[in-house]
Structure 1
């Protein structure tokens, strides 16, 4: 990784591409930053997966979860909502012993609980995508750009706090405002690539072309 950092919050890689600072020079993190983070998603299983994994991340780094993601997918049936919702106590005990994932009983039980809440949400709204994209901040709530200082200090927003409260009322767990905001960033509901990052414009174009789900 080059020492050339053109602006605060940005870093230029050996490939000459300027990115947000957080992937550093880690190949798997760079791959995630370049090809996933911020790309708009409407697929319910991917949305459910991300919410679950953000819950497992609580108190840990996303890189830790990212490097175990394939293990999580295997353990949780690729996050097929109906299958996870049907997990029994025996399944929970099995997962508590699975060294490939985060063996936190509360978080494992939360994933099963949230799968059942997701089924309820699908019945009410037609899809998780419809529910979450209906929460997309409007132009007045979004800054003209996302700079380093803003991104480092945000953590949560008024909108993510509102969503978190609503999810908790619906019985979801491990969905605090910071977790919800990280989910919104990753799923493209907001574009928080730092101003000057090569991928900010790519994500903004993807968001412009993205058809918001309506049911």
Structure 2
């Protein structure tokens, strides 16, 4: 009989959370599309549970054109009602509008830095920070680095990018490895992250 792997406690509640934890969370990703997806999803989560967002992930992809930054940047707020009517996403007009706004801000960063990845990964010197937390209580809600990222993004015109949202984003895309040391994936992520992605 297979031995159950020890994983982070937050991933034990719902199968979709466990799948996301095991396959994606904390793994280095430097794809501009993926990074923009998680800026969007973490911004959408503000005030809500991650499960609430995660179970709507496919609807978000459909609503926002698979995070095609160029296409999203061309949309104005008159597109909001069609999205609300057609897709099972969080029906918060400000958050939906922010996706179009943030796509335009992302375009400017891509022009300035060459890629969204270059602009965002600079906050960890383009290498993941490997933490060694013992318990969930040890993991911070934000850090000085996430504060810096938040200030930077707000200055560049982004919305829904507070310091807590930025830290959750950093965790999601592998800028920080916040798997607990007791979690099987702490060492796997550390050893197998594809830094060229």
Contact 1:81 1:115 in 2 (8 A): yes
Q: CA deviation at 1:97?
A: 2.7
After superposition, the CA RMSD in angstroms is: 2.0
Contact 1:39 1:188 in 2 (8 A): yes
SS in 1 for 2:78: helix
Aligned counterparts of 2:168 and 2:112: Cα–Cα separation in 1: 24
Could you say which residue in structure 1 is the equivalent of 2:183? 197
Could you say which residue in structure 2 is the equivalent of 1:92? 80
1:1-215 equivalence runs, <5 A: 16-136=4-124, 145-148=132-135, 149-151=137-139, 154-207=140-193, 209-211=194-196
Consecutive unaligned residues of structure 1, counting only runs of 5 or more, are 1-13
TM-score of the pair, normalised by structure 2: 0.92
Deviations 1:128-185 (A, max 9, x none): 111111111699xx6751221211xx10000000110011011110000000000000
Q: Indicate how the Cα distance of structure 1 residues 198 and 77 shifts in structure 2: closer, same or farther if over 3 A, else same.
A: same
Contact 2:131 2:177 in 1 (8 A): no
Name the structure with the higher helix share: 2
Consecutive unaligned residues of structure 2, counting only runs of 5 or more, are none
Moved more, 15-24 or 115-124: 15-24
Q: CA deviation at 1:76?
A: 0.4
Higher relative contact order (CA 8 A, sep 6+): 2
Q: Indicate how the Cα distance of structure 1 residues 196 and 103 shifts in structure 2: closer, same or farther if over 3 A, else same.
A: same
Contact 2:7 2:183 in 1 (8 A): yes
TM-score of the pair, normalised by structure 1: 0.85
Q: CA deviation at 1:98?
A: 3.6
Q: CA deviation at 1:107?
A: 0.3
Could you say which residue in structure 2 is the equivalent of 1:9? none
